[in-house]
Amino acid sequence: MHAAAFGAAIVCALLLLQYAHRRRPFILLWAAGWLLIAPAMLLQAHHYSTAWIAESASGLSELLAICTATLYLSSADVFRETQYVQPARLKLLIVVAAWFAVAPLVLGRAAVFIPGHLIAAALLALAGSMYVAVLLERRMIGAGLVAFVLLGLAMANVTSAATMSRQTAQLPIEILVLNAVLYTFGALGIHLLVFEDMTYELRTANRRLEVARQELMQAAITDPLTGCHNRRFLEQVMDRELQRHMRFNLPLSLLFIDVNRFKAVNDALGHDAGDRVLQYVARFLKRHIREADYIFRWGGDEFLVLITCAGDEAQHKAAVLKSAFDAAPEAVELPPGIGLSVGWTDVPHGTTDINPLVREADERMYQDKGTAVSRARIAADTDAPPQSARPAPKRRPR
């Protein structure tokens, strides 16, 4: 018993050192539990001169064992952050303490030995089941070892209560050896759990940092208004796409898209209306452009599309985009006159700089915009009444 008390004190000291380094409350609760084991063992090992002192020491030893099991349960509760162990429930320990202080003097050692071991067994089993949950949730070997120890101690307490119920004066040596082995594995398990908790925390922090890095990277390459890629991302993917274009001999083309009458909308309806138009155009392009291709907001009301197809297919795609935009049912909610002008160009094999091709697609876009303006004027002139049908102005009488 003295050796067991000395070993418990050493384990408590080691856990306090780990608590000083990690500052995790569950370590401190485990250290307190091991600290209570030492006086409980010493109370059982001492030989008392009078019977009533021996009975009182027995009751106090059982009470310390229950407090130890409660601390282990609280440690599991704190580790999982379940908050099952509330301060209001711990007030029951006052009633238990009163019983274990008075009952052995009145009813004898059996009045505290059997209930003490059964209560401790229930608390240890509950703590062990919670550490089993930690094992299943976080795959921690230390939690599994601690759960095994706590469940084994619970069974040992039940066996001890059954042994005492058969009026055996002392516990069998097998149970004492089993408890010693289990507590040894318990010390190993809790130290392993502390180490695994540290590595788990590091992995969690690394995952959070990785998510934050991805979010920052995504924010750096994404236009916040439209959700399309920005020009900075074009600089990142341009060399890669050109190399893929040459290595696999894939066709590659550019579409340069401009929103017609966008400046007029901004001037007449305000920038909020202009922002809504840009957002609608971005959603339209994402619906009609493949996910494998890239959509960039070039600036203002201009968009650039890097598309895997030949030049004639890009020209056809430009016409399809314009007609689909005009025919979209949602287009009736846009300000009148909003449409798309699209320029296109293919990327020749061996291209190393895409900027001249962007200017070429931009020029074709302006040609398309000029054609659209001319058609709009012709349509306006067609809809206007002929000059001969207009009524002659009335002359003023002299």
pTM higher than 0.75 for the full model?
no
d(CA 296, CA 290): 13
DSSP for 138-204? H--HHHHHHHHHHHHHHHHHHHHHHHHHTT-SS--HHHHHHHHHHHHHHHHHHHHHHHHHHHHHHHH
Domain spans of the chain, in order of start: 2-212, 231-379
d(CA 245, CA 146): 58
Residue type, position 204, single letter: T
d(CA 60, CA 67): 10
123 or 177, higher pLDDT: 123
Share the mean pLDDT of the chain: 85
Quickly count helices (H) and strands (E) in the chain.
Answer: 13, 4
The contacts of residue 298 (CB under 8 Å, 6+ apart) are 231, 256, 304
**Residue 222 has which token pair?**
């994404």
Residue 75 pLDDT: 94
Axis crossing angle, helix 173-221 with helix 2-22, rounded to the nearest 10: 10
3-state secondary structure of 229: strand
The average pLDDT across 353-371 equals 90
Which residue do the tokens 């282990």 mark? Answer: 72
Which residue do the tokens 């900075």 mark? Answer: 232
Question: Is 353's pLDDT higher than 90?
Answer: no
Question: Is 261's pLDDT higher than 60?
Answer: yes
The average pLDDT across 138-152 equals 94
Region of poorest pLDDT, from 49-58, 202-211, 226-235, 316-325: 49-58
DSSP for 309-326? S-HHHHHHHHHHHHHHHH
In which band, very low, low, confident or very high, does the pLDDT at 165 lie, cut at 50, 70 and 90? Answer: low
Say how many residues make up the chain: 398
Residue 393 pLDDT: 44
DSSP code at position 348: -
Residue 170 pLDDT: 57
CATH topology of domain 231-379: Alpha-Beta Plaits (3.30.70)
Decide if 90 contacts 60 (C-beta within 8 A).
no
